[in-house]
Amino acid sequence: MTNIIIWTIATITVLGLVLALVLYLVAKKFKVEEDPRIDDVEKAMPGANCGGCGFAGCRAFAEAAVKAPNLDNNYCPVGGNDVMAKVAAILGYEVKAKAPQVAVVRCNGSCESRPKVNDYDGAASCKVKAALYSGDTGCSYGCLGCGDCVAACQFGALSMDPATGLPVVDEEKCTACGACAKACPKGVIELRPKGPRGMREFVSCINKDKGAVAKKACASACIGCGICFKTCTHGAIVFENNVAYIDPAKCKLCRECEAMCPTGAIHGVNFPKPLDKEAVKARIADRKKKAAEAAAAAKEPSKKEEQ
């Protein structure tokens, strides 16, 4: 009996050693050499693993950055330009600084402006609510108010305002990771450049219905009247599907479109002084008057030549 036990132990020991040797040789044979710079890049990352860069996490971003020929298509929104400068130094690349961005809620339909037409009694999820029907107001494009964006934010940058029923973005905490924008089934949240000293103009509405329908559903909706488009002298406003959009790259922050908007759908953020609509309208009227006078003066010589 003793011999059997000894032989069993010996056999198992030898078998274990053989299998260990086989596993070692296989591991050596098929070992994948990993660039040590991947670890260095990962250490330089903020470690949020939010997916805002388009990859599954900071490790995946590091692997992609090391393999890429440059950093043109790789950017960490959480770390921003400082982190990207460190990554570039590790990899020996050059990186262009990008303008900081922030999440913007493009819905102006507060509880007062956009009254409910029915009551939703289901799971408190915008995704579920959007799958069931268009919403509990007359606007089928606006915020559903269940706070999926708040739940998606890992940085505590969003909260729901009980007075308006809309999400509010804390610019100091927002990292522009885009998680809130991805979580919104209506596409209400957009990432936009913060602008100089945080100042920016944007159309806080995405309602694509025609003016009368949009106005009936929400008193603050963009009605596609085109006044802002005609007012803008910088070509920063475009119209598509009955709704205006301000191109942040072209906007000069003159606030003329905001002053002329009849429904208040255009919002100006972080300007040092409140908007004086009457003063802006007077400036626009004076400009138009001078343009008309200049056009009339240009026609005068041609009339005299004809005579």
Q: Residue 63 — pLDDT band, cuts 50, 70, 90?
A: very high
Query: Tens digits of per-residue pLDDT, 228-266?
Result: 999 999 999 999 999 999 999 999 999 999 999 999 999
Q: Where in the chain is the domain with CATH 1.10.15.40?
A: 37-91
**Mean pLDDT calculated for residue range 165-187:** 95
Q: Is the pLDDT of residue 307 over 60?
A: no
Amino acid at 21: L
pLDDT of residue 152: 95
What is the reported pTM? Answer: 0.80
CA 52 to chain centre: 10
Cα-Cα-Cα-Cα dihedral sign, residues 144, 134, 52, 80: negative
Residue 125: per-residue pLDDT: 95
Q: CA 138 from chain center: how many Å? A: 25
Does 37-91 carry CATH code 1.10.15.40? yes
Return mean pLDDT, the chain: 91
- Are 276 and 258 a contacting pair, CB within 8 Å? no
Residue 69 has pLDDT above 80, yes or no: yes
Return the pLDDT at 159.
97
pLDDT at 14: 87
Residue 160 belongs to what H/E stretch? strand 158-161
Q: Where in the chain is the domain with CATH 3.30.70.20?
A: 110-188, 195-298
- The pLDDT of residue 179 is 94
pLDDT tens digits along 17-48: 988 988 888 877 776 677 889 999 999 999 98
**Would the pLDDT of 305 be above 60?**
no
Q: What is the mean pLDDT of residues 274-279?
A: 94
Handedness of CA 131, 132, 134, 137 (dihedral sign): negative
- Report the pLDDT value the prediction gives residue 303, as an integer from 0 to 100: 55
String of DSSP letters for 4-44: HHHHHHHHHHHHHHHHHHHHHHHHHHTPPP--THHHHHHHH
Q: Please name the CATH architecture into which domain 110-188 falls.
A: 2-Layer Sandwich (3.30)
Class of the domain covering 195-298: alpha beta
